Amino acid sequence: MSYEIIGITVLWTFLYGYLIVASIDFGAGFFSFYSVLTGHKNKVHWVIQRYLSPVWEVTNVFLIFFEIGLIGFFPDSAYYYGTALLVPGSIVIILLAVRAVYYAYNTYGISNNGNLVYMALYGATGLLIPAALSTVLALSEGGIIEERAGHVVLKWAIFFSNPYTWSVILLALVSVLYISAMFLSYYAHKAGDKTAFEILRGYALIWSGPTILASVFAFFQINRQNPEHFQNMLHSAWMFIASLICYLGAVYLVWRKRHLGWSFILVMLQFAFAWYGYGRSHLPYVLYKYVNIYQNFTNESMATALLAAFLAGFLLLVPSLVLLMRLFLFNARYIRGNSPKRGS
């Protein structure tokens, strides 16, 4: 396997990790605010907060690894994406700052007394951040970024009028809510909170339908935006069929209220098959037709150093996440609302 394939696979894997972890986080933020609006705060809000408290500080580690690796492995991507993503990237940074402020106030005891404005901002960022980040996928298909006289230009009229752009944003929004609701329903069941479980299970089933419809819509919009990529996706059709099978299995288990842990594993496999199928069919381009993984790859020495750094980061990150889950997320005392004791 070449350095180029290893490099893009590592980046895509870190981005997949961010897709899952951040979706749970963003969706939980929205559901937390929604529970206040619907009068379900006392039923589900605290289950959600028990999940968010120990994990919010590590969510963006995956994204940081991806950004550093993208520029390191494919330096030209900084030139093209740096200009095109100036506006959406700035918006994401501001929204992440707003979210971090809420977490700091809420987690470290600087109480906001349940102010609805704070909650609304927090809930809104849970949808606006993935919507802004998803525009990268729309840009990567080509036809929206153009190089003129040595300058990169983002064609805003085409960007906003393009159905594929909105199909990707729509898919990002419903996927965040679906992934988050599927995990939180399992988490509430693990906590033994039947009331919260029934509410969150309802959210999971409600958002499962829009998720598959949005996926199909985005899939066929790729054909209009980038027929070459669409034909490559057809060559990897088995991966998308496997994704659909995992989706049906996950929804069935939640509907039957059985094996909820396996249900979320199926959700992860559902998005893994779709994610890697999309990424595989997108090769050899990072950005059609400007950044090619073979023509725009860094030198071999830099690639070796980056891979070593990413391996070290992976070996540090994964055990840390496992420890975090054992101490908090899947600690029986913690998820039932009690702090875990030493030696437990």
pLDDT at 90: 83
Select from 246, 278, 277, 274 the least CA-distant residue to 262.
246
- In Å, what is the CA distance from 141 to each residue of 119, 164, 221? 36, 9, 11
Tokens linked to 341: 């004791």
Which of the residue ranges 36-40, 156-160, 249-253, 333-337 has the most confident prediction, judged by mean pLDDT? 249-253
Query: Any idea how long the chain is?
Result: 344
- List alpha helices for 38-85, DSSP H: 46-55, 61-73, 76-84
SS3 of 312, please? helix
What does the pLDDT look like over 166-214, one tens digit per residue? 999 999 999 999 999 999 999 888 878 788 889 999 999 999 999 999 9
SS3 of 147, please? strand
Tell me the average pLDDT across 122-145: 88
Query: Is 50 exceeded by the pLDDT of residue 343?
Result: no
pLDDT at 265: 95
Q: Where exactly are the structural domains of the chain?
A: 3-335
Select from 306, 299, 280, 328 the least CA-distant residue to 107.
328
What does the pLDDT look like over 50-107, one tens digit per residue? 666 556 667 778 888 888 888 889 988 888 887 777 777 888 888 888 887 777 676 5
CA distance 221 to 216: 9
Location of structure tokens 């509410």: 199
